[in-house]
């Protein structure tokens, strides 16, 4: 079945780094745009980053620009989020999510998310 599985979360001190992974299965990963979305404890959803199916475009929310880097390896069906200079306000469950349309058919980054992983918790604390 179509599935996304995140890993790599944990507890890190402010200023530290983590690399999240999202393993995809059950669909042609390389044909779909992918996103990272986070949810702070008890809070709502916040979009974090986008990467086009062919890595030709990447977008970020302002609060993570210059600190987070999204990438993908289509040969391994895996999405990544490298998070550097972490802050306490980055504490959240991080979800990877798949865009609905193949090959950016709705437009670059114009996505609703039809498949979500279970999420991985990132805690930034001293």
Nearer to other proteins, 13 or 89 (CB): 89
Residues in the chain, overall count: 126
Only segment of 13-21, 23-31, 79-87, 117-125 that touches other proteins (CB under 8 A): 117-125
Q: What is the largest CA-CA distance in the chain?
A: 44
Cα dihedral value 23, 118, 83, 29, nearest 10: 30
Provide φ and ψ at 99, rounded to 5°.
-70, 150
Residues of span 43-62 touching other proteins by CB under 8 A: 44-47, 50, 59, 61-62
- From residue 91, give the alpha-carbon distance in Å to each of 14, 39, 115: 10, 8, 23
Closest CB 86 distance from other proteins, rounded Å: 20
Only segment of 15-23, 68-76, 78-86, 116-124 that touches other proteins (CB under 8 A): 116-124
Contact string (CB under 8 A) for other proteins, positions 91-110, x = contact: ----x----x-----x--xx
């Amino acid at each position: 079945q179509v599935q996304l599985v995140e890993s790599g979360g944990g507890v890190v001190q402010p200023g530290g780094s983590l690399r999240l992974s999202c393993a995809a299965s059950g669909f042609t990963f390389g044909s779909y745009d992918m996103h990272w979305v986070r949810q702070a404890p008890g809070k709502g959803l916040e979009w974090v980053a986008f990467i086009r199916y062919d890595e030709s475009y990447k977008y970020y929310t302002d609060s993570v620009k210059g600190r987070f880097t999204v990438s993908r390896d289509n040969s391994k069906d895996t999405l990544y989020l490298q998070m550097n200079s972490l802050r306490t306000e980055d504490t959240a469950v991080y979800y990877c999510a798949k865009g609905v349309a193949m090959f950016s058919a709705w437009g670059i980054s114009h996505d609703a998310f039809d498949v979500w992983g279970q999420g991985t918790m990132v805690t930034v604390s001293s």
